[in-house]
Homo-oligomer: A and B are copies of this chain.
Amino acid sequence: MISSNEERYPDWLRRRAFSNPDRLALITGGQQFTFSELDARVDCAVDWLASQGIAAGTHVALHLPNSQGFVELVHGISRIGAVLVPINLRLTPEEIAWQLADVQASHVISADPTDEFVAAINHQSPEPTLLAIDPHDPTWEIDAGSGCNEHVESHAPDDIHAIVYTSGTTGRPKGALLTYGNHWWSAIGSGLNLGIHADDRWMAVLPLFHVGGLSILMRSVIYGIGVVVHESFDPDAVNRSIRKDRVTIISVVSTMLRRMLAAQPDRDYPDWLRCVLLGGGPAPQPLLEECAGRNVPVTQTYGLTESASQIATLPPEDALRKLGSAGKPLYPNEIAIEADGRFATPGEAGEILARGPIITAGYYRLPDATSDAFRNGWFHTGDAGYLDADGNLFVLDRRDDLIVTGGENVYPAEVEAMLSGYSLIEEAGVIGVPDPEWGQRVVCVVSCADGAAPDPDAIRLWCRERLAGYKVPTEFQFIREPLPRNAGGKLLRRTLRSWFEA
């Protein structure tokens, strides 16, 4: 008997350029590219990479904004068999230098390296080669004869596609190894849940250096659909682009979606926008209710760097029935809840566990952290949540953010979601601070609009009608700017904590 289950993935972009050469692949910076055009440009990028000494196995860091150059390099790095290391643009030069050393990057490609950036890199050993490009108009010029003769025509599922550093809401960043198999199963699992339409166009306005953005590029070439890349988030530009570029799917976090809705309060979204994929943490109930009322097809998800983006997604037909849930795991992955070292019962909160082919192969050069995360064959997410009787996931919070006050568990996200329904509050961030009597007590940073001056006692009274007493914040700080978040939109509770400590 012949085993014909060949487990290699032929170059996704190349296959789409073969199957659907004239189909739209990319819209960015006012330009459009078909799969055939993108494929040809990526061949040029590969030649350029080779001419710079990049080969199979090389770790190549991208320090670039969302752009045509970013997209072409992601596919080019894959085609040459190198490993992609996307760098968070918001990091300081020192943080970047640390990541480049940790990941053993041989090259870093940057749009506009500052003197501090150059100085930080120069200190390290091995010192990565710095390559500067114009990401919005990349020209892949090479000397004659220095092109690449070796394209990797297919990848095994376990081959490493990228090393993506976890966004680090707690502790030191870890390089999650994302394999071709992780991306493939992420795309297939999502497609089997959300569907795949030949005329889909997926907007990438989340940073491409995070897995939520990067995964859209993978889906584009696996599904054969267009991706609409925005360099940065501007609610008006996004709203316009949804119409002009016929966007059918958009990935956003709650703050983005709220600003998009606020920017066009009296106008509906077009029918063709079939899925607003909402990630980056538990969504506030008032936002979900506004979406339901305005027919915005919001689909809540739960995802991680370590799961190559979404692992659970609420299917379209449950969007209203299960408001607030992140839905069920994508085929063929599984989710479980661990409480007190055993599997939790339905409704019981605990740490969210996950397993399946979308889960990272581990952390780069961190065998202890890897084996710690993968106890008993399950990946331990560090997030808290519960499953209802139907198997829908409700994400409560980062487990590390859990507040224990007087023996009672308080999940900050629950309190925040409630507070965001209070009229004068734009955003609320809830944390626990040490308390000699109760262990911890609940405190809150409130972001409010200019001129608004909420009364702490009034807020507490309002809360007390809606929440158990031990959940009501004992102290408030009011600020005028938005709450501090990482590039993936996750609230930085560490920063809030340091404010209360100061």
Task: Show the binding face of A for B, using Cβ within 8 Å.
Answer: 1-10, 15, 18-23, 157-158, 177, 179, 181-182, 185, 188, 191-198, 222-224, 315-317, 328, 331-332, 355-362, 370, 374, 379, 390-391
Contacts and interface: CB of A to CB of B under 8 A. Distances in A.
A83 B134 CA distance: 59
A315 B225 CA distance: 13
Given A328-B18, A332-B10, A361 B4 contact: yes
Contact of A362 (B1, B182, B315): B1
A21 B358 CA distance: 24
Contacts of A195: 195-198
A2 B361 contact: yes
A6 B198 contact: no
Given A20-B317, A23-B317, A6 B357 contact: yes
A242 B136 CA distance: 48
A7 B370 CA distance: 21
A271 B358 CA distance: 37
Contacts of A18: 328, 391
Nearest to A160: B1
Contact of A360 (B4, B20, B182, B316): B4
Nearest to A371: B2
B7 A7 contact: yes
Nearest to A361: B1
B158 A3 contact: yes
A436 to B, nearest CB: 43
B4 A359 contact: yes
B328 A19 contact: yes
Contacts of A316: 198
Contact of A192 (B224, B359, B361): B224
Contacts of A185: 5
A177 B9 contact: no
B191 A15 contact: no
Contact of A315 (B19, B197, B360, B391): B19
Contacts of A332: 6, 8-10, 15
A274 to B, nearest CB: 9
Nearest to A191: B196
A193 B191 CA distance: 12
Which residue, of A6, A359, A360, has the highest number of chain B Cβ atoms within 10 A?
A: A6
Contacts of A355: 4, 6
Contacts of A20: 315, 317
Given A196-B196, A223-B192, A331-B19, A5 B391 contact: no
5 closest Cβ contacts across the A-B interface?
A5-B181, A5-B157, A4-B359, A1-B362, A195-B198
A192 B223 CA distance: 6
Contacts of A5: 157-158, 179, 181-182, 185, 357
Nearest to A373: B2
Contacts of A374: 2
A196 B191 CA distance: 8
A3 B15 CA distance: 26
A83 to B, nearest CB: 14
Given A3-B158, A18-B391, A21-B390, 4 more contacts: A1-B361, A4-B358, A6-B332, A198-B317
Contacts of A158: 3, 5
A370 B362 CA distance: 41
A114 B195 CA distance: 45
5 contacts: A2-B361, A5-B185, A15-B331, A19-B315, A192-B222
A456 to B, nearest CB: 45
Contacts of A179: 4-5
A3 B370 CA distance: 12
A348 to B, nearest CB: 19
Contact of A356 (B4, B194, B197): B4
Given A196-B196, A331-B15, A22 B356 contact: no
Contacts of A362: 1-2
A326 to B, nearest CB: 13
A157 to B, nearest CB: 4
Contacts of A197: 195, 197
Contacts of A391: 18
Contacts of A3: 158, 361
Contacts of A196: 191-192, 195-196
Contacts of A182: 4-5
A226 to B, nearest CB: 13
A314 B185 CA distance: 25
Nearest to A177: B1
A194 B191 CA distance: 12
